[in-house]
Structure 1
Amino acid sequence: MKYISTRGGIEPIAFDQAVMMGLARDGGLLLPETLPSVSAQKLDAWQNLHYKSLALEVLDLFSGDMPRLDLDDLIERSYSSFRHPQVTPVRKTGDLYIMELFHGPTLAFKDVALQLLGNLFEYELKKSGGFMNIIGATSGDTGSAAIYGVRGKKGINIFILHPHGRTSPIQALQMTTVTDANVFNLAVNGTFDDAQAIVKELFSDLEFKDQYQLGAINSINWARVLAQVVYYVFAFLKLRKQGFDSVDFSVPTGNFGDIFAGYVAKQLLPEGCINRLILATNSNDILTRFVNNGDYSIAGEVTPTFSPSMDIQIASNFERYLYYLHGQDGAKVKADMETFAAAGRMDLAAFGEQAARDFASYSVSEEETIATIRQCSQEHDYLLDPHTAIGVRAAQELKEDRPVVCLATAHPAKFGEAVQKATGNEVELPPALAGLANKESRCEILDADIALIREYVEKNALEGEI
């Protein structure tokens, strides 16, 4: 299995190189040369596997020459910290199914990928004897999950940029109260898009990237997306065992990473197993406007909402899907992305029919988000966080005659303000979150200025021999 760039500017590379490269050296995103597929007979063999064993089978299709025993060990260590034996359990709630992705160390779906990615980085660095400086931007949950994945690991420093005052208080505390010597938190005066743009610019400076051996933990890193493919297959097999041969998924998304993992899972499984991917957005609705109208354009400023992890205008992973819309033509992708960078828009109306085959989409208002949390609590005695509520509401609006699995992306206690507004009750903090406010914290507040961030990284980065 070799990997190429969405912009066509690099020679094919191996899986381990793709993991360590993060962003492709031509500015594009990495993808397998060919997406694998599995047969119905293979699904029969996978039917009763527990999560870790299924992860081994799925990841082994993409991981090239990595020894299977090494991959098995990485998976075992990555998911041993999860609080539920099924890792991502699926439960029926009313006429929907909810897949709980929040049983990892930081109570968010990002743990599923970032526990694995942290162990992959450590594995590769042990082989090479090298070092790495991870730089990432977060709208909330990626930062803490990445930090927990690499805290204290030898040969790795991690720099996380988050938008100052635009995450939930719990999300900020989960990051800033980790005071390991290799962890650096930067609160940026700006939006997630500002932080993400700085990270991409640093990675695009190839001399700087090489000097400091930059590593990516955002979903620009292919391994992030790959790890998330597993839970789509896991959920489908759960419902297949109940007699369903076709399933829809409803995915709250802002950066297009989680739902792109669903797109890859859809290509992996036999035709029809995953029928529709319901793309749920909040009022920052660039992805919904694309699916419904072919309009991929920045519309004003980012709007702060009760679902801050989705307060994004520029969806990084959309470029991977654009690559398939353009028939895997990297030159066309590069031209479109340059147009978008210059003008803030792409006219993709010509791809309306294809997008409609792959996705359905609904933009959920703040009022609908709160009402959905309230409804689910009253009718099913089940608490949703606001991001999950967006996925549930979109599923309610767009559900057809197949079962719908809604991705529960975070524990509701991480967003207590929204849940209290909806239900009138405070959310009891689980042990992983209780007492965070009383812990020592460390964070640097900087303007969203590439020169300031670069200077800070240079001052604190690992460099040369370790």
Structure 2
Amino acid sequence: MKYISTRGQVAPIGFIDAVLMGLADDGGLLVPERMPQLTKEELAKWQSLSYPELALEIFSLYIEDEIPRDELKQLVDDSYATFRDEAVTPVRKLKDSQYVMELFHGPTFAFKDVALQFLGNLYSYISRRTSSIIHILGATSGDTGASAIEGVRGKEGIKICILHPHQKVSKVQELQMTTIDDANVLNLSVEGTFDDCQRIIKELFADVDFKHQYHLRAINSINIARILAQIVYYFYAYFRLAEQGQQGAVSFSVPTGNFGDIFAGYMAKQMGLPIHKLIVATNENNILARFVNEGLYQPGEFRGTHSPSMDIQVASNFERYLYYLNNGDADAVASLMARFKSEGSLTVTGDVLKQVQADFAAYSVENEECLDTISEYYKQHDYLLDPHTACGIAASDKLTAEGEVTVTLSTAHPAKFDEAIRLRSISQTYPEQIQALFDKPQFQKVVAGTNDAIKEQLVSFF
């Protein structure tokens, strides 16, 4: 399996080189040269597999023999042994035809652990095998940072620097990152929004000389390994419902800001998984919902919401979808992204917009609607949703017909967002690991939201 850039100016490379490259050297994003296709017979064989066994099969399709199967199995087993639930990503029924898949049973109580426990172990493996220097640079709207740090802290040969928007993540998210005092971890609290953090990351990775000089590696979902790891749980959810007698295609409602989680679902569908509908659930930062519903991709005014991990205006994985939407025409993608950079927007119409709306449905959830959904499901179903999952549930309730089986991806434990939960007079008990954070000292540097300010920190750290 080889990987190519959405902008077409990078020669095909193998999986390990793709992981190390992160953002493609031409500024694009890496995608597999071909999409593996699965038959009904192959799907039937996979139905009874455990989560790690299923992950091994799916990773093998994209890695082939570049990592020997026994070594890949060890990486997978080590990655998911850290989860608190034996199922790794259990599926719960809330009401008729409405399910949630709990993706928050990893070390940091967020869905990012599913991919980043694996990627952390993968980076450690690559460092040992290739003698590569691994200096990880990432940005977070809240959950990626803690998950990434947890995935690599204390690992020999790896350093990690995480940028987060100053005072724009939840208190628990902040504490999970900044109470880590390991020598190989640097937390930078950036004055600005997550979009500022993400822009800086992309521009530093696009500076190829700087990237190579300081051996920068990506942990954000610009790294293709993140997406591949997230494909697995779509298959796992489908198989768990099939065990309960569900026949035919399943819909998924996905809270998303950066488009990575739902793009993994798009890939799963392209591989042959029977998915009926992929629902893009956004908050008031609704650039993705507007694109699906109107064909306009244009950042709006930033809004702070009760679901801060989705407070994103420019979705880093959107370019990968544009590549497939344009039938793999890298020149067309490069032209579109150049236009977006110069004009600040891009538009699709006609048959192209019809294709977008065949691939996705979308709904933007207002702040009060998010809180109302938390309150309603707590009262009626005795189930406490975090505000991001609540956006997914609200979108599912709005866009799915009666009897249409839908799985909402539950992206975080509600304890990570108690500020929002308390607004509906709901009290909860923190898990022991989260409660302990409040008694620990914090370690972070507040820095200006400029490339030069971040570069100065990186040069002294790396």
CA distance in 2, matches of 1:294, 1:39: 33
Shift of residue 245 of structure 1? Answer: 1.4
Listed one character per residue, the Cα deviations across residues 41-74 of structure 1 (whole Å, up to 9, x for unaligned) are 0011111111010000111100132111111000
Match for 2:258 among 233, 255, 260?
255
Specify the alignment match of 1:315 in structure 2: 315
Deviations 1:303-352 (A, max 9, x none): 00000000000001000000011110111111111111111100122421
Q: For residue 218 of structure 1, what is the aligned residue in structure 2? A: 220
Matched AA of 1:288: A
Q: Which amino acid aligns with 2:214?
A: Y
User: 1:2 and 1:363 mapped to 2: Cα distance?
Assistant: 36
Secondary structure at the aligned position of 2:92 is classed as strand
SS in 2 for 1:291: helix
In structure 1, how many angstroms separate the alpha carbons of the residues matched to 2:404 and 2:52? Answer: 27
Task: Report what 1:34 is aligned to.
Answer: 34
**TM-score (norm: length of structure 1):** 0.97
- Residue matched to 1:60: 60
Q: Distance in 2 between matches of 1:425 and 1:398?
A: 27
**TM-score, normalization by structure 2:** 0.98
State how far apart, in whole Å, the 1-side matches of 2:82 and 2:134 are: 24
Superposed, 1:51-130 pairs within 5 Å as 51-64=51-64, 65-95=66-96, 96-130=98-132
Task: Name 1:414's counterpart in structure 2.
Answer: 416
Determine the C-alpha separation between the residues in 1 that align with 2:293 and 2:162: 34
1:185 match: secondary structure: strand
2:348 corresponds to which letter in structure 1? Answer: L
Distance in 1, Cα, partners of 2:346 & 2:227: 24
Indicate the SS of the match to 1:315. coil
User: Counterpart of 1:34 in 2: which secondary structure?
Assistant: coil
SS at match of 2:409: strand
1:425 deviation in Å?
Answer: 2.6
Match of 1:268 among 243, 246, 271: 271
5+ unaligned residues in a row in structure 2: which ranges? Answer: none
Cα distance, 1:94 vs. partner? 1.4
Cα deviation 1:190-248 (Å, max 9, x = unaligned): 00000001011110111111111111000000000100000000001111222321100
Q: Does structure 2 conserve the Cα–Cα contact (< 8 Å) formed by 1:132 and 1:212?
A: no
1:56 and 1:277 mapped to 2: Cα distance?
Answer: 24
Tell me the equivalent position of 1:283.
284
Q: What's the counterpart of residue 464 of structure 1? A: none
- CA distance in 1 between counterparts of 2:215 and 2:181 reads 22
Identity rate, percent: 53
Structure 1 alignment gaps of length 5 or more: 462-466
Instruction: Report the Cα distance in structure 1 between the residues aligned to 2:306 and 2:368, rounded to whole angstroms.
Output: 10
Matches for 1:375-414 after TM superposition, within 5 Å:
375-400=376-401, 401-414=403-416
| Residues 145-198 of structure 1 deviation map (CA, whole Å, 9 limit, x = unaligned) | 000000001111100000001000110000000110000000000000000010
User: SS state of the match for residue 31, structure 1?
Assistant: strand
Measured in 1, the distance between the counterparts of 2:241 and 2:200 equals 42
Size of the alignment, in residue pairs?
A: 457
- Aligned amino acid, residue 199 of structure 2: A
In 1, Cα distance between equivalents of 2:166 and 2:3: 35
CA separation in 1, counterparts of 2:187 and 2:311? 20
Deviations 1:261-290 (A, max 9, x none): 0000111125xx111101100000000000
Q: Match of 1:418, SS? A: helix
Spell out, residue by residue over 1:110-131, the C-alpha distance to the aligned partner (whole angstroms, 9 max, x if none).
0000000001100011011221
Residue type of the partner of 1:371?
D
In structure 1, distance between residues paired with 2:329 and 2:224: 19
Please list every run of at least 4 consecutive aligned residues from structure 1 whose deviation after the TM superposition is greater than 3 angstroms.
Answer: none
**Which deviates more from structure 2 when the two are superposed, residues 403-412 or residues 349-358?**
349-358
The answer as to 2:162 corresponding to 1:178 is no
